Structure 1
Amino acid sequence: MSQRVTNIVLTATIAIGLGVAGVATMAQASQRDKPVRVAIRDVKGTRIGTLAVVNKDGARTRVTVKVHHLAPGYHGFHIHAVGVCDPKSVDPATGLVSPFFSAGGHLDLAPGGHSHPAHSGDMPPLLVRKDGTGSASFITDRFRAAQLSDADGSAVIVHALPDNFANVPSRYAPNGPDEATLKTGDSGPRAACGAIKPIKASK
């Protein structure tokens, strides 16, 4: 085989390889860009709602949530960092069962981290009506759908209490917000959880 023919064959082989790799990369990107839809379940495993996260454009994401059979009033509503919803998980700091503690703290994508309510996963409070139902839809630029399906996934948590967004003025508390307030906004126990699983890369 002449050198010229050999070069043509090698060029064609590389081009085909790059083409296949390109298709695989685009397929993975497309998969990661898919909307996130998960069921939200309470401690007993009963489905009490759904969450949908859909990318709108290059910077904005629409979040939609619908719930039922919850206590009326405001509930803290956040994306947590780990996609594991274990109702029997234990808080190692106390040794006590703490439902959905397995979901970790609030999602925070920023280098160096933030305090509440500036975490990436901090969202508007969820208002539940007297009949136990609630819904909300809003636009955020704090995360993309793909970022919720990273290596360890993430989870949506509905808390039992309202979120004060760490708004503790010095006139009410001389020392300002404490550590718990800066982490969670004093939203109380985790009442319900929906696990967002990692997306496995195509081989």
Structure 2
Amino acid sequence: MRRPVVAPALSACVLAVVCGCAGADEAQSGSSGAGAAADSASAGTGSGSGSGSGSGSAELTSRLVDPDGREVGVATLTEVEDGTQVDVQVTGLPPGFHGFHLHAVGVCEPDSPSPADPSMTGDFLSAGGHIGAGETDHGEHAGDLPLLYVTEAGTGTLTAVTDALTLDQLTDGDGSAVMVHADPDNYANVPERYAPGGPDQMTRNTGDAGGRIACGPVEG
């Protein structure tokens, strides 16, 4: 399976990232300051441009809510030449970088049990783990996306293109969900000088991105 990449943390698939945040506005892939800032990164081969959408391309939508049920953003997922383009806009979230992923189950319920272990409950655990979790370590999951950056004003935007997933895969039998986490994602990138034994299992699973603060089922 091809996988999404954000240099240097993500690897193994074509990924183009363009993120920006308006100063009045987790632009997950990186931007900061009170004014407008934008970063872009791309990796891959071929001549396709990654961030353009084709005419008449299919589109899915995810409306993000917080654990109180308040709508805090919307994501659109569009079929483009290089794969699947994810565009997200959020508002009212804590400032800083946040883990941003596609999760395996299209159910977003507060204080809910995990499908893998019903004894574990928490906000949006109903959405399961990252798409592709269990197949490889974090940072190479099909559902891994770049960090979302949120400004001091509580707003952020992100555009990313991944060839690790198709729209059909996002609308399989149990669906999928867009997820924003409370903390930054380290993509299991922990240097040996900090952890001579390497990252622990939790880091390899989730990148230490913390709790789930916004979730939205992917819908047609």
TM-score in terms of structure 2 length: 0.70
Structure 2 residue 137 is the aligned partner of structure 1 residue 115: yes
Q: Give the RMSD, CA atoms, in angstroms.
A: 1.9
What's the offset of the Cα at 1:62? 1.1
Residue 173 (structure 2) pairs with residue 143 (structure 1): no
Spell out structure 1 runs of 4+ moving beyond 3 A: 91-97
TM-score, normalization by structure 1: 0.75
Q: Which residue of 2 aligns with 1:65?
A: 88
Structure 1 portions without partners, runs of 5+: 1-32
Name which of 46, 55, 62 aligns with 1:38: 62
Q: CA deviation at 1:34?
A: 2.8
CA contact (8 A) 1:84 1:154 kept: yes
**1:94 shift after superposition:** 8.6
Higher helix share: 1
- Shift of the alpha carbon at 1:113? 0.8
Q: Which residue identity lines up with residue 152 of structure 1 in the other structure?
A: D
In structure 1, what is the equivalent of residue 150 of structure 2? 128
Query: Taking structure 1 as reference, are residues 148 and 93 closer, same or farther at Cα in structure 2, changes over 3 Å only?
Result: closer
Structure 2 matches for 1:1-203, cutoff 5 A?
A: 34-57=58-81, 59-91=82-114, 95=119, 97-108=121-132, 113-197=135-219
User: What amino acid sits opposite 1:148 in the alignment?
Assistant: L
In the alignment, the residues of structure 2 paired with residue 147 and residue 169 of structure 1 have an alpha-carbon distance, to the nearest angstrom, of 33
* Cα contact 1:34–1:146 (8 A) shared by 2: no
Aligned partners of 1:88 and 1:168: how far apart in 2?
Answer: 30
CA distance in 1, matches of 2:181, 2:109: 15
Distance 1:176 1:83, change over 3 A: same
Distance 1:70 1:62 in 2: 22
8 Å CA contact retained: 1:76, 1:160: yes
Q: Which has the larger radius of gyration?
A: 1
Q: Name 1:4's counterpart in structure 2.
A: none
Structure 2 SS opposite 1:82:
coil
Q: Secondary structure at the residue paired with 2:169?
A: helix
| Percent sequence identity over aligned pairs | 46
Deviations 1:57-89 (A, max 9, x none): 2x4221100000000000000000011111120
Q: Hey, what's the Cα distance between the residues in 2 that align with 1:46 and 1:74?
A: 21
- The alpha carbon displacement at 1:95 in A equals 3.8
- Which whole-Å CA distance do the structure 1 matches of 2:100 and 2:73 have between them? 13
* TM-fit CA distance, 1:138: 1.8
* CA distance in structure 2 between the partners assigned to 1:146 and 1:36 by the alignment: 10
Mapped contact 2:98–2:183 kept (Cα < 8 A): yes
What's the secondary structure of 1:43's corresponding residue? Answer: coil
Hey, what's the Cα distance between the residues in 2 that align with 1:107 and 1:145? 13
Q: Which moved more, 1:33-42 or 1:143-152?
A: 33-42
**Paired amino acid for 2:145:** M
Aligned partners of 1:61 and 1:141 also within 8 Å: yes
In the alignment of these two chains, the number of paired residues is 163
